[in-house]
Amino acid sequence: MPDNWGYVFAAYGLAVIALGAYWRRLARRAKSLAGPGGSE
Protein backbone atom coordinates (compact mmCIF):
# COMPACT_ATOMS: atom_id res chain seq x y z
CA MET A 1 0.00 0.00 0.00
CA PRO A 2 1.49 3.40 -0.93
CA ASP A 3 1.95 5.84 1.92
CA ASN A 4 -0.48 8.51 0.69
CA TRP A 5 1.08 11.26 2.79
CA GLY A 6 -0.87 13.83 0.77
CA TYR A 7 -4.15 12.49 2.16
CA VAL A 8 -2.75 12.45 5.69
CA PHE A 9 -1.58 16.07 5.51
CA ALA A 10 -4.83 17.15 3.84
CA ALA A 11 -6.88 15.65 6.69
CA TYR A 12 -4.74 17.16 9.45
CA GLY A 13 -4.40 20.48 7.61
CA LEU A 14 -8.17 20.85 7.25
CA ALA A 15 -8.65 19.93 10.91
CA VAL A 16 -6.13 22.55 12.03
CA ILE A 17 -7.81 25.21 9.87
CA ALA A 18 -11.35 24.35 11.06
CA LEU A 19 -10.51 24.05 14.77
CA GLY A 20 -8.26 27.12 14.67
CA ALA A 21 -10.96 29.18 12.95
CA TYR A 22 -13.54 28.19 15.58
CA TRP A 23 -11.06 28.91 18.41
CA ARG A 24 -10.43 32.41 16.96
CA ARG A 25 -14.14 33.01 16.38
CA LEU A 26 -14.94 32.25 20.03
CA ALA A 27 -12.09 34.47 21.22
CA ARG A 28 -13.22 37.40 19.05
CA ARG A 29 -16.88 37.04 20.06
CA ALA A 30 -16.04 36.83 23.76
CA LYS A 31 -13.80 39.87 23.49
CA SER A 32 -16.43 41.95 21.71
CA LEU A 33 -19.10 41.04 24.27
CA ALA A 34 -16.84 41.63 27.25
CA GLY A 35 -16.23 45.19 26.05
CA PRO A 36 -13.06 47.29 26.35
CA GLY A 37 -10.45 45.61 28.50
CA GLY A 38 -12.40 42.34 28.66
CA SER A 39 -10.65 39.07 27.91
CA GLU A 40 -11.24 35.54 29.38
Partner 1 sequence: MTRALRWLTALALIAGLGAAFGYAPREAVQGNVQRIMYLHVPAVLTAYLAFALVFVGSLGYLFTRRMGWDRLAVAAAEPGVLFTGLTIVSGSIWGKPTWGTWWTWDARLTSTAVLFLVYVGYLLLRGMVDEPDRRARYAAVVGILGAANIPIVHFSVKWWRALHQPSTILGPEPSPIAAPIALTLLVNWIAFTLLFLYFLARRAEIARLEESHAG
Binding site for partner 1 (CB under 8 A): 1-5, 7-8, 10-12, 14-15, 18-19, 22-23, 26-27, 29-30, 33-34, 40
Closest CB to partner 1 among 1 and 36? 1
Task: Report the C-alpha gap between 12 and 20 in whole angstroms.
Answer: 12
Closest CB to partner 1 among 29 and 37? 29
* Least spacing, CB of residue 8 vs partner 1, in Å: 5
User: Contact, 38 vs 31, CB < 8 A?
Assistant: yes
User: Contact, 31 vs 39, CB < 8 A?
Assistant: yes
